[in-house]
Amino acid sequence: MRPAGEVRLALLNACSQLATPERGATLREMAAVACVGLKAATHTAKNMHRAGQLRIARQRHVAYRNRPVAEYAPAALVSDDQVGFVDLGSVLRAWGG
């Protein structure tokens, strides 16, 4: 298996940084923190979601779009019975804090 690419690692780190129990990270927020383009972030996030690395925790209304956008959280931090909740302690342990 190939190692994860730079964009994938950057998006996963950005998602881990931005995820809180109250809010997940939107695609634009992850792309901005990871310093990657929106098109590359969209393509990579879809692949990460399909591979099971990211989960859609909930949806949020934002000012720049009429429809709600997905909030992502690392899949390791969201269990099936707790969709929408992210344990901040787990985020900090995974991040190395």
Domains, the chain, in order of start with CATH, read 6-92 (1.10.10.10)
Confidence of residue 78 (pLDDT cuts 50, 70, 90): low
Nearest partner of 24 among 81, 65, 82, 63, judged by Cα: 82
Confidence of residue 32 (pLDDT cuts 50, 70, 90): very high
72: left (phi over 0), alpha (psi -120 to 50) or beta: beta
Comparison of pLDDT for 88 and 83, the residue scoring more: 88
22: left (phi over 0), alpha (psi -120 to 50) or beta: alpha
The predicted-structure confidence for 39-62, as pLDDT tens digits, reads as follows 999 999 999 999 889 999 899 999
Say what the pTM is: 0.74
